[in-house]
Amino acid sequence: MKGLQDYYPEDFAHCYGCGRENHHGHQIKTYWDGDETVTHYLPKEYHIALPGFVYGGLLASIIDCHGTGSGSLAIARERNIELTEFNAPRCVTASLKVDYHKPTPIGVELEIRGTIREIKGKKVIVDAKVFANGVMTVSGQIIVIEVPEGFAK
């Protein structure tokens, strides 16, 4: 099953967080699950803050790209765009807010779940939560904006 990021135009598929063409990066994939968006990610063993716990910057990064992916999914749904290679709308982040509620353990696959708080033209606000072993450890809000076609050219 393909993720939203598999449908980005090639020019927009090089992001370190979510680009399928970035072979150094995290290559996250984001999907609909009903009205929520979902991303899974297993941090590397060296993505630590203090020993045993995931580095907060990685969590912010994954929330960021989950937010842009969720924004793209929301815009595609809003406009009845059937995703195919490579027509996905592409968003960039205007603002990112992350709250760290408790330490996130390393060594388990994280689940990031998003809800679309608002969609208005080219702007989408996404609420996100990170779960480790079913426990919510981090939450965030991402404001994303659709980039104009041809922006990267």
Chain positions contacting a copy of itself, by CB under 8 A: 11-12, 14-17, 22-25, 44, 46-52, 55-58, 60-62, 64-65, 92-100, 147, 151-152
Please report how close the Cβ of residue 124 comes to a copy of itself at its closest, in angstroms. 15
Please report how close the Cβ of residue 131 comes to a copy of itself at its closest, in angstroms. 19
Residue closer to a copy of itself (CB basis): 47 or 129? 47
Residue closer to a copy of itself (CB basis): 1 or 19? 19
Q: Which helix (H) or strand (E) holds 56?
A: helix 56-78
Residue closer to a copy of itself (CB basis): 44 or 117? 44
CB 129 within 8 A of CB 113: yes
Residue closer to a copy of itself (CB basis): 58 or 110? 58
Cis peptide before 86 (omega within 30 of 0): yes
Sequence-distant (6+) residues with CB within 8 A of 130 are 59, 62, 63, 104, 110, 111, 112, 136, 137, 138, 139, 140
Burial of residue 45 (number of CB atoms within 10 Å: 0-12, 13-18, 19+): exposed
Please report how close the Cβ of residue 37 comes to a copy of itself at its closest, in angstroms. 17
